């Protein structure tokens, strides 16, 4: 392979992206402008198709790969690619796939790790960084890269701003140096909990605004849901130890606005489908992508109930998704709640 003249920004030369869905592919394409990037996916046939077409026709059609991007169906080859010291490993699967993916990395020598998934793990109620610690141990330098970023726009090279959250300053610096540049700005944060809670719960709220918009309830209702949704994120996030200002930033309010209002959002599209009366399995099948807000609504409902945190919009979404509540009932229940003080309180 020819050397990329722009590579090795910030010391990072080799990057492996594990997970070849829409977001993993878009991130791999963006980073391949500056680094030697290998994109691994778990489906060998899909990888063969990508290698042939130089495009991810299944998950990110219409966006040709840059010349420097390599794809690999061989997990060992992807790990060997990041065996050197100037390397970054990016886990780009959904939350449900994070634990199984990390299990494959256990007892292997791995470099700095960054994960892109947004949600709480169903069953355990854990955030991604807690799963990473549980599986790989506390000694691994890792962080969450999050923020308002539709894969299709990043693949087109349109501008976006992200946040890398980690308790390791060295990891934050490494990721900023490796990813910041061109049309991508990267901010840093020490608030892993706040960043991950914002990214997780905004998906549930995007389903809620999709329902409201699908029912034709108007822009006032949408603005109310987004704002009270932010209060919900902040209540849960601070109860878990996140910082209030994080929820006003890119990974809180920023991603919430994007996902609740942008029709590229898969979660918003789930809400629009529910409002049309479509069954959830049909919506998910038509989507062909993960909609993290679906399992996350259930995980958050359970976690918030255990912690005594009031999450009315999340509960209403979970009711429609899992308890057979009608979308119209969801809205009337929210409207019928007792009046209260607007400030965020538990």
Ligand X SMILES: O=C(CO)COP(=O)(O)O
Ligand Y SMILES: NC(=O)C1=CN([C@@H]2O[C@H](COP(=O)(O)OP(=O)(O)OC[C@H]3O[C@@H](n4cnc5c(N)ncnc54)[C@H](O)[C@@H]3O)[C@@H](O)[C@H]2O)C=CC1
Residue 28 touches ligand Y, criterion: CB under 6 A? no
Q: How large is the C-alpha radius of gyration of the chain?
A: 20
* Segment interacting with ligand X, rule: CB under 6 A, options 44-52, 124-132, 183-191, 257-265: 257-265
Beta bridge partners of 44: none
Tally Cβ neighbours within 10 Å of residue 164. 24
* Tokens 């899909």 found at: 46
Query: Is 86 or 255 the residue whose CB approaches ligand X more closely?
Result: 255
- Clarify whether 343 is annotated catalytic: no
> How far, CA to CA in Å, does 102 sit from each of 26, 86, 93, 107, 180?
21, 20, 10, 10, 26
- Candidate list 7, 156, 202, 278, residue with the active-site label: 202
* Segment interacting with ligand Y, rule: CB under 6 A, options 88-96, 204-212, 227-235, 313-321: 88-96
Query: Is 27 or 73 the residue whose CB approaches ligand X more closely?
Result: 27
As a whole number of angstroms, the distance between CA 330 and CA 115 comes to 33
As a whole number of angstroms, the distance between CA 218 and CA 344 comes to 25
Residue 255 touches ligand X, criterion: CB under 6 A? yes
Beta bridge partners of 18: 40, 91
Q: In a 10 Å sphere around its CB, with 0-12 CB exposed, 13-18 middle and 19+ buried, how is residue 243 labelled?
A: middle
- Looking at residues 244 to 303 of the shown chain, list those that interact with ligand Y (rule: CB under 6 A): 289-290, 292
- Looking at residues 99 to 118 of the shown chain, list those that interact with ligand X (rule: CB under 6 A): 118
Query: Is 221 or 237 the residue whose CB approaches ligand Y more closely?
Result: 237
Indicate which single residue of 22, 72, 174, 178 sits in contact with ligand Y (rule: CB under 6 A): 22
How many residues interact with ligand X (rule CB under 6 A)? Answer: 13
Binding site: residue ranges?
A: 19-24, 42, 59, 118, 147, 149, 151, 202, 255, 265-267, 290, 292
The residue ranges that bind ligand X (CB under 6 A) are: 118, 148-150, 203, 206, 255, 258-259, 265-267, 292
């Amino acid at each position: 392979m020819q050397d990329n003249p722009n590579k090795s920004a910030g010391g990072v030369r080799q990057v492996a992206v594990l997970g070849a869905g829409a977001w993993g592919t878009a991130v791999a394409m963006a980073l391949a402008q500056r680094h030697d990037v290998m994109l691994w996916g778990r489906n060998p046939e899909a990888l063969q198709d990508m290698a042939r077409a130089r495009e991810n026709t299944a998950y990110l059609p219409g966006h040709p790969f840059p010349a420097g991007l390599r794809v690999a169906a061989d997990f060992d080859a992807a790990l060997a690619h990041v065996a050197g010291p100037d390397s970054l490993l990016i886990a780009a699967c959904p939350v449900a796939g994070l634990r199984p993916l990390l299990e494959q990395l256990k007892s292997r020598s791995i470099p700095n790790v960054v994960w892109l998934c947004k949600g709480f793990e169903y069953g355990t109620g854990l955030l991604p960084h807690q799963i990473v610690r549980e599986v790989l141990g506390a000694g691994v330098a890792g962080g969450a890269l999050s923020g308002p970023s539709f894969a299709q726009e990043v693949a087109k090279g349109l501008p976006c701003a992200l946040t890398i959250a980690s308790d390791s300053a060295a990891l934050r610096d490494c990721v900023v140096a490796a990813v910041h540049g061109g049309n991508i700005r990267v901010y840093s944060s020490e608030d892993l909990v706040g960043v991950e809670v914002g990214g997780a719960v905004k998906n549930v709220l995007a389903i809620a605004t999709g329902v409201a918009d699908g029912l034709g309830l108007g822009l006032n209702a949408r603005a109310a849901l987004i704002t009270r949704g932010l209060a919900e994120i902040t209540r849960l996030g601070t109860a878990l130890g996140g910082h209030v200002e994080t929820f006003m930033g890119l990974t809180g309010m920023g991603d919430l606005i994007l996902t609740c209002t942008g029709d590229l959002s898969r979660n918003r599209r789930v809400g629009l489908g529910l409002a049309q009366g479509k069954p959830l399995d049909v919506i998910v099948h038509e989507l062909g992508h993960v909609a993290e807000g679906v399992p996350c609504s259930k995980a958050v409902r359970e976690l918030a109930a255990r912690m005594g945190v009031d999450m009315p919009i999340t509960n209403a979404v979970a009711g429609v998704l899992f308890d057979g509540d009608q979308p119209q009932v969801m809205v009337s229940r929210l409207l019928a709640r007792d009046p209260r003080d607007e400030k965020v309180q538990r």
